Amino acid sequence: MVLKPAGRKSPTLISAWIALAACAISRPGFAAPAFEDSESGAKSEIQFRLEPHLYSGSRGTEPKFQTVAQTSLRFRSTTQDRTQSQWTLQLHAESELDGRRDRSFDLDRAWYSWATGSMELTLGRIHPWDISGNLEANRPWGYAQQLQPQNRGILLGQGFLGSNDEVFPQPVLLGWLGVHTWSSPSRKGRFQWGLSATPFFIPNLGSEVSFSTTEDASAGRFGRRPPGTIDVGGGNLLPLRYRLDDSRIFQDVILNPQLGLNMRAEITSELTGHYSFQYSPSAEADPTTSGFVSVSGSGVNAIAEVTPRFPKSLIGTLTHVWKPSRLLGNTKFFLTVAGNTLGRVGFETGMSFKSVTITYLTERPQPSSGGSASSAGGSYTNQMVQMDVALNLTPRWGLFGGFKVDPVEHDSWVRLVSKHPISARAQLDFGAEAFAGSEGTYFSEWRTNDRIYVAFTWRLES
């Protein structure tokens, strides 16, 4: 069985959220301090973020009070003209200052692009959806991205930055390091297309999970823990230990060629289609295992030998966005249908009006193996209603937040944050999060991670 604490519900934050959404419909979205680009040359941006967190419960050896330090750097060209050469180098590092002291360093984006006649060529680490302008590129919890390799620990653990704060976007899509083409450097034309290819799959680092043949597997605050016991028959449970075999990690994980075809079509003046077809690794690791029983001075344990792998599949994603001109405000509706050859297929539909976005997604019953999101206990894509709101109260005070609720399994994740820009360089945030769900549901894994936090962010540009 998977190690999980007892669950509970969080109606208070959800009620506050509904009231926030009602206010936001009649107000414009809160915008973070903006910085002007120069006309040409290079630009550097550095961001430091310090986040003290207070959690509601223990999680393994992790303390209830934890402080996370983050540093993000981005260097880029300042030109906005896609017909000219552009480049970006973006990386981030973070570390816990207490407990396990998890550390990670990731090269989120590193690419160079230039126009060659009627074609744009891009080399480096960037996802094809960033190039094609796909609606799904910045929606890490949308259904389409559940079929893409991504690191859930990063997404769950990082403090909410707000929909308008995109100076350092979250590294939501993983794995691509190669060459990309796009048919229209100017991004004009009713039909545009591009090809992508890479010989490598380079995942991002996230919350650490430690394996041992003598002790229980352990994980950081937002690392997903494997089962801790195994039933050997007759209701007899043995402690389950793990031995990680990484001798073939280059052949089985990194050396994973990927191919992609992306298209964008302006069907009418109000309707746009985004179409993506990929041959790439599955969304989550599906390790192979073999095992044996070990007898030692500490007792009898079952030892599972784990070999990490990401099985490949063909992935198809079709998204249509409708922006009716007859409706007031920046209103749009969208429908996404996606699936892969491992047996996953589902859809998501939603709308956004001013600063409120609400969506519904569902997936047919998932297979028990082959990279399914349910393989780690609980399915995020069973059914999910999601809502995000940005509310401008004063020029110096904004409220952001969101909730994700499964109406069938009744598990949920709620976020609420108050953002206070102190100056053009500094910002202070106050946030609260709550996870709820009964045993075996997706968000029940994080029930002891209910938290309140303060975050101080400081930016410097040149």
User: Strands of 288-296's sheet, edge to edge?
Assistant: 229-231, 237-244, 299-307, 288-296
Roughly how many angstroms between the first and final C-alpha of the chain, as a whole number?
53
**6 found inside a domain:** no
Nearest to 303 by CA among 212, 224, 237, 218: 212
Is residue 281, in this structure, part of any structural domain at all? yes
Residue 3 lies in a domain: no
Domain that includes residue 287, residue range: 11-461
pLDDT of residue 372: 32
Does pLDDT of 423 surpass 70? yes
pLDDT of residue 55: 92
Tell me if 207 sits within 8 A of 222, measured CB to CB: yes
* Chain mean pLDDT for the chain: 77
Query: Which of residues 360 and 116 earns the better pLDDT score?
Result: 360
Distance, in Å, from the CA atom of 354 to the CA atom of 93, rounded to the nearest integer, reads 34
- The stretch 437-453 carries a mean pLDDT of 87
Domain count, the chain: 1
Residue 292 three-state SS: strand
In a domain, 61, yes or no: yes
Query: Could you say which DSSP state residue 249 is in?
Result: H
Specify if 392 maps to a domain.
yes
| Whole-number pLDDT of residue 195 | 97
* Confidence band of 142 (pLDDT split at 50, 70, 90): confident
Express as a percent the part of the chain with pLDDT over 70: 74
What is the pLDDT at residue 312? 85
Q: What pLDDT score does 93 carry?
A: 82
Is 255 inside any structural domain?
yes
The three-class DSSP label of residue 191 is strand
Q: CB burial class (10 A; 0-12, 13-18, 19+) of residue 281?
A: buried
34 within domain boundaries: yes
CATH number at residue 37: 2.40.160
Report the alpha-carbon distance of residue 125 to residue 217 in Å, rounded.
Answer: 32
For residues 258 and 175, give the distance between their C-alpha atoms in angstroms, rounded to a whole number: 9
Q: Is the pLDDT of residue 441 over 60?
A: yes
SS3 assignment, position 356: strand
> Looking at residue 444, what DSSP letter applies?
G
Q: What is the pTM of this model?
A: 0.79
Residue 369 DSSP SS3: coil
How many other β-carbons are positioned within 10 Å of the β-carbon of residue 277? 14
Q: Which of 211-225, 283-297, 421-435 has the highest mean pLDDT?
A: 421-435
Query: Exposed, middle or buried by CB within 10 Å (0-12, 13-18, 19+), for 395?
Result: exposed
Which among 29-43, 69-83, 405-419 has the top mean pLDDT? Answer: 405-419
Is the residue at 2 inside a domain? no
Tell me: pLDDT of 428 over 50: yes
155 closest CA partner among 93, 206, 102: 206
